[in-house]
Amino acid sequence: DLFAAGSDTSSSTVEWAMAELLRNPLPMAKACDELQRVIGSTRRIEESDIGRLPYLQAVIKETFRLHPPVPFLLPRQATTTIQILGYTIPKGAKVFINVWAMGRDKDIWPEAEKFMPERFLERATDFKGADFELIPFGAGRRICPGLPLAVRMVHVVLASLLINFKWRLPVKVERDGVNMTEKFGVTLAKAIPLCAMATST
């Protein structure tokens, strides 16, 4: 079950990233340029390359912000009554963390609805639980155990798709726009799967 959940959320994240890049040609061009400059077209991307691809990392962080793998983290239950930021959380209360809404909070993210990977080049934001404005995998002792595998998979798969193929939208989708409707559930998938055309680079 753990591997199935991990592969489902990872493939969904790659699909969201591709949808955003196809809708936003400038970030797509920047990501492809970085890959050509750092990796080139003669070899495959490896896990060790990820650290040398800051723009690709920013694209993935921005995808996690707008389209977290799961909209709500697993609920927590207060073991004691506690005050947090002026709110009283009574003992026994179940607390749900809406990471989808956090990623669109205009008080934290300027132009929150826009896909702007550059925002992560300007600020050192970690999505592994250290920075609470971006916690798509949770935080603390109950952070998603699949995080290391998911992060590697998403980076390597997305980079492989971008470096090995040139992507475009079908004429009808180009004309009508990519449907970005979300299908809410345990995971956050696209309601209508992405349709894109690839040619070899």
Q: Where are the domains of the chain?
A: 2-200
Query: What are the angstrom distances between the C-alpha of 92 and each of 84, 85, 88, 99?
Result: 15, 19, 12, 22
Instruction: Select 2-200's CATH number: 1.10.1740.110, 3.40.50.300, 3.40.630.30, 1.10.630.10.
Output: 1.10.630.10
pLDDT at res. 7? 61
Per-residue model confidence as pLDDT tens for the chain (201 residues) = 444 445 677 899 999 999 999 999 999 999 999 999 999 877 789 999 999 999 999 999 999 999 998 888 888 899 999 998 899 999 999 998 899 999 999 999 999 999 999 999 988 888 777 777 888 888 877 777 777 788 899 999 999 999 999 999 999 999 999 999 999 877 889 999 999 999 987
Cβ proximity of 179 and 69 under 8 Å:
no
Both tokens assigned to 14: 């790659």
DSSP 72: B
> The tokens 């890959």 sit on which residue?
35
Strand partners, 92: none
pLDDT at res. 16? 96
Cβ proximity of 69 and 188 under 8 Å:
yes
Q: DSSP secondary structure string, 144-185? A: -TTHHHHHHHHHHHHHHHHHHEEEE--HHHHHH-----EEES
200: helix, strand or coil: strand
pTM of the full predicted structure? 0.89
- Is 144 assigned to a binding site? yes
